[in-house]
């Protein structure tokens, strides 16, 4: 039953074909069996999940359906605050943090009737592309245990791919939902900036961070996004626009849809030939269903990574200033004064990648450098945004590879930060422009590793993404769960 | 772009990071490489370009300046590494 889709599981619970307790117990048993090897979860809430499942069963017996995911077990990246439940962000500095409140996403998942299985592993503070920077150890790719699951939402993608939950919620600052979805063979959607509330979502780079869904099918991802999307007064960048019926969009035809192919993405040096072939197959499947391919140019693409590695670390260095060992989190032992306590706390509490980004960001914002780095990067961001504005005056959607290669091996890129950063070369421009993006499985490499295609749309056109992704999914059937 | 050991130490002080000698050496090389890469944006002419701080245009939303008591003080103070009654306790602030 772990292979059921989210929609199937929800339908079977509602129809009394299975109880939420049976369903939740089955997934918890699978987690117990697989998590020691895959390490997708930092915290498993076995007892709480069973209590919540029982409460769902009791409600249903009285005819009460709490929401679209009534009784179905799901997971959350450990970046979303859960009241009274440890929330670590993959960091030693928050190892024992018990949030006094729930994130907006946590509230919405609860309101949908879903059962929370646990908190999923991630790169420390969402900084990474491999889930290797977590202080709880790396997550492994269920398709190949010696490979990375992508990152930073690698725990969520691996759990979904391994049948250790029916769906999950991750976050995406530069590709952290789409890249792990791509290398784990699942669907990951990052909506338009402002679609999902950031309230209670631990901040990395506030102008880029966005929550989104990870699931095994496009319709599942559509339902999951409907659950978490919506306006929230507590996030001043949350947008007050009605949430459309994403699930209905997955049933629409792509006939007449204009799909742009940016030559800068397909001409990129590091693009694996198997990835290119699989994405071309996805394009062919769209064309067969009546979509029209249009070659386009996004001329500033090559500058996106540079702009991102100024803006994101700069915002991170400011956001992470709050971890000082005073009010919550880890505190270093010291005989010295306040400043020494803070400096030692941060040196011991943060891992190497987080320190590196704090250093880049602090440098870029320091006296004399602000204009040359942060100011300049914000202007480059405008140029990248305009590239997309111009493209979307000609096409409805843009098709690209999600990641330049299938999953690489653990440790392969850890020693060279810049090589690791290049894993996100196709996903980063989307965050800079604030547009929505989805990754959908479109093939398997000769080594047996999943490959994802990325579809980008204009602001608030998530429906277009779901229509195109569902068309690819229908045309290219692939295993929903990794062959473990 | 070369970055000096002194610059690394200066930035670490600003960021309140007590780095080890080994970390300072490693970061000196790594930051140099990363800055080299990101400086490629220098080749773009951006003289007349307006900077983007948020990608989705929106006004500043206003709300009433109303107090909403949180209530569960213990849930907050329970996270404190060190406390005294209802206060967060810290080492001395004014150095001798």
Residue A458: its pLDDT value, please?
A: 98
Query: Is B12's Cβ below 8 Å from some Cβ in A?
Result: yes
Q: Which residues of B touch A310 (CB under 8 A)?
A: 38, 41
Top CATH class of B5-43 equals: mainly alpha
Residue A247: its pLDDT value, please?
A: 98
Residue B96: its pLDDT value, please?
A: 58
Residue B95 pLDDT greater than 90, yes or no: no
Query: Is A329's Cβ below 8 Å from some Cβ in B?
Result: yes
pLDDT tens column, A334-363: 999 999 999 999 999 999 999 999 999 999
Query: Is B4's Cβ below 8 Å from some Cβ in A?
Result: no
Residue B93 pLDDT greater than 90, yes or no: no
Q: Cβ separation of B17 and A359 shorter than 8 Å?
A: yes
The alpha-carbon gap from B75 to the nearest alpha carbon of chain A, in Å, equals 5
Residue A267: its pLDDT value, please?
A: 85
Q: Which residues of B touch A237 (CB under 8 A)?
A: 54, 56, 58
Query: Is B46's Cβ below 8 Å from some Cβ in A?
Result: yes
Q: Cβ separation of B76 and A100 shorter than 8 Å?
A: yes
Secondary structure, 3-state, chain A: CCCCCHHHHHHHHHCCCCCHHHHHHHHHHHHHHHHHHHCCEEEECHHHHHHHHHHHHHHHHCCCCCCCCCCCEEEEECCECECCECCCCCCHHHCCCCCCCCCHHHHHHHHCCCEEEEEECCCHHHCCCCCCCCCCCCCCECCECCECCCCCCHHHHHHHHCCCCCEEEEEECCCCCHHHHHHHCCEEEECCCCCECCCCECCCCCCCCEEEEEECCHHHHHHHHHHHECCCCCCCCCCCCCCCCHHHHCCCCCCCCEEEEEHHHHCCCCCCHHHHHHHHHHHHHHHHCCCEEEEECCCCHHHHHHHHHHHHHHHHHHHHHHCCCCCCCCCCCCCCCHHHHHHHHHHHHCCHHHHHHHHHHHHHHCCCCCHHHHHHHHHHHHHHHHHHHHHCCCCCEEEEECCCCCCCECCCCCCCHHHHHHHHCCCHHHHHHCCCEEEEEEEECCCCCEEEEEEEECCCCHHHHHHHHHHHHHHCCCCCCCCC
Taking residue A423's Cβ as centre, other Cβ atoms within 10 Å add up to 25
Per-window interface: A 93-152 vs B, CB < 8 A = 97-98, 100-101
Query: Is A376's Cβ below 8 Å from some Cβ in B?
Result: yes
Q: Which residues of B touch A376 (CB under 8 A)?
A: 41-42, 46
ipTM for the whole complex: 0.96
pLDDT tens column, A433-475: 999 999 999 999 999 999 999 999 999 999 999 999 999 999 9
Choose from B81, B83, B92 for mutation: most chain A CBs within 10 A.
B81
Beta bridge partners of A41: A120
The alpha-carbon gap from A163 to the nearest alpha carbon of chain B, in Å, equals 34
Q: Indicate which residues of A carry an active-site annotation.
A: 77, 152, 176
pLDDT tens column, A3-28: 999 999 999 999 999 999 999 999 99
Region B11-30 average pLDDT? 97
At residue B24, the 3 state secondary structure works out as: helix
Q: What are the residue ranges spanned by the domains of chain B?
A: 5-43
Confidence label for B18 from pLDDT (cuts 50, 70 and 90): very high
Looking at chain B, which residue has its C-alpha nearest residue A310? B38
The alpha-carbon gap from A341 to the nearest alpha carbon of chain B, in Å, equals 7
Region A205-216 average pLDDT? 98
Residue A416 pLDDT greater than 90, yes or no: no
Q: What are the residue ranges spanned by the domains of chain A?
A: 1-484
Q: Cβ separation of B17 and A350 shorter than 8 Å?
A: yes
Q: Cβ separation of A324 and B16 shorter than 8 Å?
A: yes
Q: Cβ separation of B39 and A306 shorter than 8 Å?
A: yes
Q: Cβ separation of B52 and A378 shorter than 8 Å?
A: yes
Q: Which residues of A touch B63 (CB under 8 A)?
A: 233
Residue A256 pLDDT greater than 70, yes or no: yes
**Closest by Cβ to B58, choosing from A194, A300, A346:** A194
Query: What mean pLDDT value characterizes chain A?
Result: 97
Residue B63: its pLDDT value, please?
A: 84
Region A181-187 average pLDDT? 98
pTM value > 0.90:
yes
Choose from B31, B54, B55 for mutation: most chain A CBs within 10 A.
B55
How many CB pairs below 8 Å do chains A and B form together? 177
The alpha-carbon gap from A169 to the nearest alpha carbon of chain B, in Å, equals 22
Per-window interface: A 175-234 vs B, CB < 8 A = 192-194, 207, 233
Higher pLDDT, B71 or A250: A250
Fold of the domain built from segment(s) A1-484: Amidase signature (AS) enzymes (3.90.1300)
pLDDT tens column, A214-224: 999 999 999 99
pLDDT tens column, A283-298: 999 999 999 999 999 9
pLDDT tens column, B22-60: 999 999 999 999 999 999 999 999 999 999 988 887 788
């Amino acid at each position: 039953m772990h292979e059921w889709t989210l929609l199937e599981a929800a339908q079977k619970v509602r129809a009394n074909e299975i109880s939420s307790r049976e369903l939740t117990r089955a997934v918890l048993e699978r987690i117990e069996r697989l998590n020691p090897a895959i390490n997708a979860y930092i915290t498993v809430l076995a007892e709480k999940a069973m209590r919540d499942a029982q409460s769902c069963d009791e409600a249903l017996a009285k005819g009460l359906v709490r929401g679209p995911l009534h009784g179905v077990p799901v997971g959350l990246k450990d970046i979303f605050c859960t009241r009274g439940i440890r929330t670590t962000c993959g960091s030693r500095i928050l190892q024992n943090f018990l949030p006094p409140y729930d994130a907006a996403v946590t509230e919405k998942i609860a309101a949908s009737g879903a059962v929370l299985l646990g908190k999923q592993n991630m790169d420390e503070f969402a900084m990474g592309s491999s889930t290797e920077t977590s202080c709880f150890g790396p997550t492994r790719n269920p398709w190949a245990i010696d490979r990375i699951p992508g990152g930073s939402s690698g725990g969520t993608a691996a759990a979904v791919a391994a049948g250790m939950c029916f769906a999950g919620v991750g976050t995406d600052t530069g590709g952290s939902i789409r890249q792990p979805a791509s290398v784990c063979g699942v669907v990951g959607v990052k909506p338009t900036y402002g679609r999902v509330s950031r309230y209670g979502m631990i901040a990395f780079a506030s102008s880029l961070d966005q929550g989104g869904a990870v699931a095994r099918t496009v319709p599942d991802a559509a339902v999951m996004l409907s659950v978490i999307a919506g306006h929230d007064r507590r996030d001043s960048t949350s947008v007050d626009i009605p949430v459309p019926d994403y699930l209905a969009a997955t049933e629409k035809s792509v006939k007449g849809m204009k799909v742009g192919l940016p030559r800068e993405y397909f001409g990129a040096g590091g693009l694996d030939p198997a990835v290119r072939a699989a994405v071309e197959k996805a394009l062919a499947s769209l064309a067969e269903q009546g979509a029209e391919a249009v070659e386009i140019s996004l001329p500033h693409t090559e500058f996106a990574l540079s702009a991102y590695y100024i803006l994101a670390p700069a915002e991170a260095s400011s956001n992470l200033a709050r971890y000082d060992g005073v009010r919550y989190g880890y505190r270093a032992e010291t005989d010295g004064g306040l400043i020494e306590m803070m400096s030692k706390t941060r040196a011991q509490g943060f891992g190497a990648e987080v320190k590196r980004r704090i250093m880049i960001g602090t440098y870029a914002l320091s006296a004399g450098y602000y204009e040359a780095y942060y100011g300049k990067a914000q202007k480059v961001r405008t140029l990248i945004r305009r590239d997309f504005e111009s493209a979307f005056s000609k096409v409805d959607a843009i098709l690209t590879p999600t990641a330049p290669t299938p999953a690489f091996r653990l440790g392969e890129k850890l020693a060279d930060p810049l090589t690791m950063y290049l894993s996100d070369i196709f996903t980063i421009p989307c965050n800079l422009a604030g547009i929505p993006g989805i990754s959908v499985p479109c093939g398997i490499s000769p080594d047996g590793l999943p490959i994802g295609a990325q579809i980008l749309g204009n602001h608030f056109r998530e429906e277009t993404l779901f229509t195109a992704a569902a068309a690819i999914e229908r045309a290219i059937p692939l295993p929903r769960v990794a062959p473990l | 772009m070369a970055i000096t050991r002194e610059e690394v130490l200066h930035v670490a002080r600003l960021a309140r990071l007590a780095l080890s000698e080994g970390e300072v050496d490693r970061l000196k090389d790594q930051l140099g490489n990363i800055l080299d890469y990101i400086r490629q944006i220098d080749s773009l002419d951006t003289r007349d370009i307006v900077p983007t701080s948020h990608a989705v245009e929106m006004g500043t939303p206003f709300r009433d300046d109303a107090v909403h008591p949180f209530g569960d003080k213990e849930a907050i103070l329970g996270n404190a590494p060190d406390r005294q009654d209802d206060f967060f306790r810290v080492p001395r602030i004014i150095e001798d």
